[in-house]
Structure 1
């Protein structure tokens, strides 16, 4: 198991921390030395074997903690938020190292994290939990594109998904909703039992159509090559994610268009996903 706070023995060297469990098993000294060197080389810490924890950086201590788990050759690795004490740059670097490590050792890792980016980039399967209850189990693609409920949809994705309450209406052409000034017919949904739904649409799925004065842009966030536009009209607020350009940086009003295929529908009472006819 790899802990959040490293849990290294402060009085022991890196070599002795790695070899501790092997010595407890009374393995031969030559075997211990071979295993320690193999793990140290795998993790890139061969030059640190004579140091003590106080002489290591946070990233180095985390690699030693991981090495101490690897050296026992377990069937399952348990990792309890191992990157939470690292700064952003080091966390990103170590995240890639752990992912590469998992691919190299071919072991099963159960990785606990509150960071959705860690979960989405590292996992082959994700278990989303809320207050101790499992909300959904699936691949990162399934979790992101087919969230089972509003909690999962709102938890996964940066920036956060927009939730908009809409009335379900009918005319001679079928069932429809009015969403952000667009009339959208619900052709792909199974039957809807209520006259109200909550629609989820991710900021990157809202397309800026032109700069007609329909939705007021009340805030802008420039994130490198991308721009977040915070819009509102008649009390309805939503976020649009687009490529950064001078036109959008200076815009004060926008109009948008959306496609039904990019929408997620949720029951307004149970907050559960309303399935499409394809699901």
Structure 2
């Protein structure tokens, strides 16, 4: 058989078409031909103006699923099948699915359309309803996503603030415990500055060191923290290991030095090597002291004195 028939879009209003049923693949294909635009038209999609060209339809997998009484997965597979046979093209984004009929004029001759000019003046009601519904649901989804994002950000900020307050509270307690006194207002800025550079555990360890040395001053704590940071000692474990290494490295021939004395050394000061060697060098044994009877020179002088001479 050759030739073709004219099928008006009003067929969608016929009681046979409106029968509640699950579409076949053929019916779904014909439905696509009926629903696409027969001329270019601009529509408002969200806050953007979109141009829907002749032979195109803006819809969604969900909408087609409800229309054809298929699962969304089946709709997606069917559209891919039509694409593989080069019958349609499909473009998707987060807001819409655009279906374009390939060679639309084969199915809808423009000369025939001229004989039915009234069709060109009809409002594509279904298209607009479809677009409005999609736009509404898209906006709702966007609003829900934005609300969820705002809520999560608020919760994250609250959790961060709570954790920060806990860290500050720990430092203040240690500050008072090690005898630095009740934290004055001026110390608040100092604690905040410490927390920007060091962990609470390291700060508390520095307060302990200052307490052990009876140097309960912020400046002294600053020197300890600065030295540890310069040496890469950013955890309590590393600090304790450094102390242990220091104790093991002390030589018996050297003057004993405490770990606190080491920490008080100014960074960059190095004891000259010759001084260290001088300190290590053992003293040479002195010659034994001779008595007058044992010294021949003295005996000679005594003999000459006795002989008058």
Same-fold status (TM-score > 0.5): no
Task: Choose between structure 1 and 2 for higher RCO, CA contacts under 8 A separated by at least 6 residues.
Answer: 1
Higher strand share: 1
TM class by smaller structure = under 0.3
Higher helix share: 2
